[in-house]
Amino acid sequence: MMINPDGALGRSVDDGESLADSLSPRELVSSTTVYRGRIWDVVSDTFVLRDAGKQLTRDYITHPGAVAVLVMNAAGEVLMISQYRHPVGMTLWEIPAGLLDVSGEDYVEAAARELAEEADLVASQWLVLADVFNSPGSSSEAIRIYLARGLTEVDAGLRHTRTDEEAEIRFAWVSLEDAVAAVLDGSLHNPSAVVGILAAAAARASGFATLRPADAPWPAHPDQRQ
């Protein structure tokens, strides 16, 4: 047994149990699309909890997923991009990211495409920093965050024309230490940036040797489940 910080008793992870999320399918009674959007839909599922047999209904966003890129140059600085986000009414410092909305596109290919489109950069070295669910209580969105190094610029004549909110993107190279400090003092709020920065800071101690290869399986992504 272990004592939680609030004093409550809890069971420690031991006896061969790994500290890992796991698939937990429940009996699906019904599923209805209640809203169809341009990029994602809202569905209403009714399912049965295994332990009590009780039916519950939950509405959530079905999302194609996304990739994000923590870009690091030879000096160990990371690239931050500033972009307006209307739902929160704020301009956020983020890392390059985009939807997995191209049919048949490999995850790392999608990340490379977003890096070229948003930052005019190509990377020769790719590793997986982290896999996260952006808001698992309300959305199926799964995000894979990569570490990209070995950078070259996209030729000027081949660069993507950024429109709408992306046309206002601004860039800043900051030290990883300063990025971590900005996370911890509450200055940064984008989840991919926060997770990517802290994961990179943790992985740097091993020279990034503990990170997974770019083509590592991603079984938690909804599209990869059998």
166 is catalytic: yes
99-137 burial by CB neighbour count: b if 16+ within 10 A, else e? ebeeeeeebbebbbbbbbbbbbbebeebbbbbbbbbeee
Measured in Å, how far apart are the chain's first and last C-alpha atoms?
A: 35
Assign 66 to helix, strand or coil. Answer: strand
- Separation of alpha carbons 24 and 59, rounded Å: 18
Set 141, 166, 168, 177: catalytic member:
166
Continuous H helices in 120-224: 176-184, 191-204
Beta-strand pair 66-71/142-153 = parallel
Strand order in the sheet with 90-94: 90-94, 77-85, 170-175
Residues with active-site annotation: 166
